[in-house]
């Protein structure tokens, strides 16, 4: 289920809201984050929020698909990678 659909489902399902936080496969693209081309600057803030709410059960796959329009700062990228590799 795409992340955008998951977020919508979470609004109506408390069970799903709790379960997505333990999902070990996180793929972040403009599409999965529900971003339009003009909203690409929100990429960093959405990824930060999702990883902040993700449980410490571990991440098996962490994938980022972005281009230079997203303006991702390396300190953000480092913190995302640290969150993914640090055991809970």
- In tens, the pLDDT along 25-49 reads 888 887 877 777 655 557 888 888 8
Task: Using the CB atoms, write b or e for 5-19: b if 16+ within 10 Å.
Answer: ebbeebeeeeebeee
pLDDT score, position 84: 81
Cα 41 to Cα 60: distance, rounded to the nearest angstrom:
26
Cα 88 to Cα 79: distance, rounded to the nearest angstrom:
15
Domain containing residue 8: 3-85
What is the domain count for the chain?
1
Question: Is the whole-model pTM more than 0.85?
Answer: no
pLDDT digits (tens, 9 = 90+) for 41-83: 578 888 888 888 887 677 888 888 877 666 677 788 888 888 8
Residues in contact with 27: Cβ distance below 8 Å, sequence separation at least 6, in sequence order: 3, 61, 63, 65
Of 4, 64, 72, nearest to 36 by C-alpha is 4
């Amino acid at each position: 289920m795409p992340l955008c659909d998951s977020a919508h489902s979470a609004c109506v399902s408390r069970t799903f809201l709790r379960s997505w936080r333990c999902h070990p496969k996180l793929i972040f693209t403009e599409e999965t984050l529900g971003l339009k081309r003009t909203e690409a600057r929100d990429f960093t803030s959405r990824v930060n929020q999702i990883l902040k709410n993700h449980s410490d059960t571990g991440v098996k796959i962490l994938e980022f698909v972005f281009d230079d329009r997203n303006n991702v700062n390396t300190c953000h990228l480092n913190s995302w990678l640290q969150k993914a590799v640090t055991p809970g």
